Amino acid sequence: MKIALAQLNLHIGNFDYNFNKIKEAVLDAKKAGAELILFPELTTCAYPPRDFLEFSDFINRSNQVIEKTKQLADGIAIVIGAPSENPVVEGKDLFNSAYFLAEKKVLQVIHKTLLPTYDVFDEYRYFEPNNEFNLVNWNGYKIAVTVCEDIWNLNNENPLYKINPMDELAKQKPDFILNLSASPFHSKQADARKNIVRENAKTFGIPLFYANHCGAQTELIFDGGSLVANSKGEIVSELPYFLECIEIIDFKEVESLVPIEQKTIEIERIHDALVVGIKDYFNKLGFKKAILGLSGGIDSALVLALAVKALGKDNVLSVMLPSQYSSDHSINDSLELVDNLGSPYKKISIEDAYFAVENTLQAHFENKKPNVAEENIQARLRAVILMGLSNKDGYILLNTSNKSEAAVGYGTLYGDMAGGISVIGDLYKIQVVELCKYINRNEEIIPTNIITKPPSAELRPDQKDSDSLPPYEILDEVLFQYIEQRKGPKEIIAMGFDEALVKRILLMVNRNEWKRHQTAPVLRVSAKAFGMGRRMPIVGKYLE
């Protein structure tokens, strides 16, 4: 039996678009002789639909996609993810389901058992968990159909759930496992995904076919990498990362296929994820052109390079906004960068605007020493100009703040923290440097001076980031331990970091939560990004 894996880039709530993708994949699979095609989790509506699931019209339109897809199940079985309605009064109104379609009928509907609520997931908000475990009997095979999380509660030292669905299904002796997945990208997720697929196949001694989404849905990026494992737990097929595709595997040949594995480096995966994140954010919202402030620093340089890769050089406008504090090298470095990329730019001084605002406030600032107020005026004037150009000419502003800055509040709200999407808000400063070097691996695109010079906001004479912040090598490690590893101050201090410095950094993180609640969505590339996956109170007093 030939089984097709359909790895698709879908669009949340765009039912006609999604059905056309489904139809094309089914027809292609039929042409290639496939007898069954496996789609990802919640294919009809795309993942994650969130509170759209509370609209009955949304569910009705998803049901219509199932009805139309059912008509394609002629000579081929279709296993596809969609929400389904709970017919009983008790519990949630919906299940997260896999429809098994064959002979133009719904042969069986299998519901997801394990509903994650950690990090970016919130499925128990919408769905009722499954409590019945039945195989699908089709074409002489007994098939265990599972949905994403249902295969992840295996061999865990500290399991999240009291049940493992495959333990129940294995009692009925299935011939193979199908898993419909929506596994969001982070830089280490591909390895974790392969390990869990291997473990399931090996533990239950049967092949496993795993179909994942690709493409981005706002801040969540899906990298594809759909998998097939043989009964020994060896990966014998792995679909490309970040690309739509269909691959057909003959079930009879799974055990004889040579084990394979894609080899990529972490920084390459992060690069490709961010490019996809930008591209899909613009395409799915119908935007065409991006704008950003190009400071001559490493952060904006990186965002420009990524945006040009994603959108094309003619669709990204850089605006240099020098003040009286801007250095000549910042302008020269920026000019060299746009020349290397071949992208358009403007140069607009903010000096006159700054002095006009300063004169307006002179009576109110009288007898008060210059401080952050004057610095923030400059940052906000830059945002005013960028948003003026955005409104006039239809650009979407790209935010260029990194995770280190966002963590400690080293940024101006309504100034350099403005933007429609935060491109590198989940990259620490040391990762920004690493990614720039990756982009320059074959030729110098980002000028070396931008990468090597000391970081500076250039909002006062001879300003350096190190005037306000610890060295990034130390800052980033402390932040990583606190944010990603969820270690408290005592644990971090025990690792050898200075006690006063740790307490200072962690207080900065907590005290600036209010800023992060007002910023653009952050493209997620780590296991714990700011935004939907990290829910912190603004007024909490932890650590103070």
Nearest to 542 by CA among 475, 489, 466, 471: 489
Write down the catalytic residue from 41, 149, 247, 405. 41
Strands 220-223 and 77-85, bridge-based pairing: unpaired
Calculate ∠ Cα 144-147-149, nearest 5°: 115
- Whether residues 230 and 300 share a domain: the answer is no
One domain, residues 289 and 332: yes
Instruction: Identify any residues that bridge with 361 across adjacent strands, giving them in sequence order.
Output: none
Buried-exposed string 514-538: b where 16+ CB fall within 10 A, e elsewhere: ebbeebbbbbbbbbbbbbbbbeeee
* pLDDT tens column, 310-320: 999 999 999 99
Cα distance between residue 111 and residue 195, in whole Å: 24
Query: Could you give the CA distance from residue 493 to residue 498 in angstroms, rounded to a whole number?
Result: 6
* Per-residue pLDDT, 454: 82
Shared domain check, 227 and 304: no
Is 57 found in the same domain as 30? Answer: yes
| Residue of 45, 148, 214, 436 marked active site | 148
The enclosing H or E element of 280 equals: helix 266-285
The per-residue pLDDT for range 229-284, each reduced to its tens digit, is 999 999 999 999 999 999 999 999 999 999 997 888 999 999 999 999 999 999 99
The answer as to whether 405 is a domain residue is yes
Dist CA 473 CA 318 (whole Å) = 29
- Whether residue 489 is contained in a domain is answered as no
Statement to judge: residues 280 and 398 lie in one domain: yes
Residue bearing tokens 């333990």: 167
Q: Are residues 103 and 239 in the same domain?
A: yes
Residue 401 resides in a domain: yes
Residues 227, 296: one domain?
Answer: no
CATH number, domain of 296, equals 3.40.50.620
Strand order in the sheet with 105-111: 105-111, 94-102, 77-85, 36-38, 2-7, 245-250
Say what the pLDDT of residue 457 is: 64
* Whether residues 199 and 313 fall in one domain: no
Describe the strand order of the beta sheet including 421-422 as a list of residue ranges. Answer: 345-347, 316-320, 289-293, 395-399, 421-422
Largest CA distance in the chain: 87
Which of 264, 297, 315 represents a domain boundary (last residue)? Answer: 264
CB neighbours of 363 closer than 8 A, spacing ≥ 6? Answer: none
Q: Please indicate, yes or no, if residue 219 is contained in any of the structural domains.
A: yes
Residue 247 annotated among the catalytic residues of the structure: no
**pTM for this one?**
0.95
Is position 336 within any domain?
A: yes
H or E element in which residue 338 lies: helix 328-341
**Domain final residue pick, 243, 264, 285:** 264
284 and 393 together in one domain: yes
Domain hosting residue 389, numbered range = 270-464
CATH number (domain holding residue 96): 3.60.110.10
Residues 256 and 393 in one domain: no
Assigned domain for 504 exists: no
pLDDT values of the chain reduced to their tens digit, one per residue, 544 residues = 999 999 999 999 999 999 999 999 999 999 999 999 999 999 999 999 999 999 999 999 999 999 999 999 999 999 999 999 999 888 999 999 999 999 999 999 999 999 999 999 999 999 999 999 999 999 999 999 999 999 999 988 888 999 999 999 999 999 999 999 999 999 999 999 999 999 999 999 999 999 999 999 999 999 999 999 999 999 999 999 999 999 999 999 999 999 997 888 999 999 999 999 999 999 999 999 999 999 999 999 999 999 999 999 999 999 999 988 777 778 999 999 999 999 999 999 999 999 999 999 999 999 999 899 999 999 999 999 999 999 999 999 999 999 999 999 999 999 999 999 999 999 999 999 999 999 999 999 999 999 998 877 666 677 677 777 899 999 999 999 999 999 999 999 999 999 999 999 999 999 999 999 999 999 999 999 999 999 999 998 887 6
Count of domains in the chain? Answer: 2
- Of 464, 498, 522, which residue constitutes the final position of a domain? 464
Find the catalytic residue in 112, 279, 309, 403: 112
Q: DSSP string of 226-258? A: -EEE-TTS-EEEEPPBS--EEEEEEGGGGGGSP
Q: Answer for the pair 300, 319: CB distance below 8 angstroms, yes or no.
A: no
3-state helix, strand, coil in the chain (%, to 5): 40, 20, 40
Query: Cβ atoms within 10 A of the Cβ of 409, count?
Result: 18
Does the annotation count 41 as an active-site position?
yes
Amino acid at 285: L
Count of beta carbons in the 10 Å neighbourhood of residue 405? 25
173 as an active site residue: the answer is: no
Write down the pLDDT at residue 459.
Answer: 65
Instruction: Report whether 262 contacts 351 (CB < 8 A).
Output: no
Please report whether residue 498 resides in a domain.
no
Q: Which of 126, 132, 100 is nearest to 113 (CA)?
A: 132
Please check whether residues 260 and 278 belong to one and the same domain.
no
Question: Is the distance from CB of 81 to CB of 43 less than 8 angstroms?
Answer: yes
256 and 279 assigned to the same domain: no
Q: Where are the alpha helices (DSSP H) in 342-453?
A: 351-365, 372-393, 403-408, 429-439, 448-452
Which residue, among 84, 85, 82, 67, has the nearest Cα to 23 in the 3D structure? 67
Domain-embedded: residue 497: no
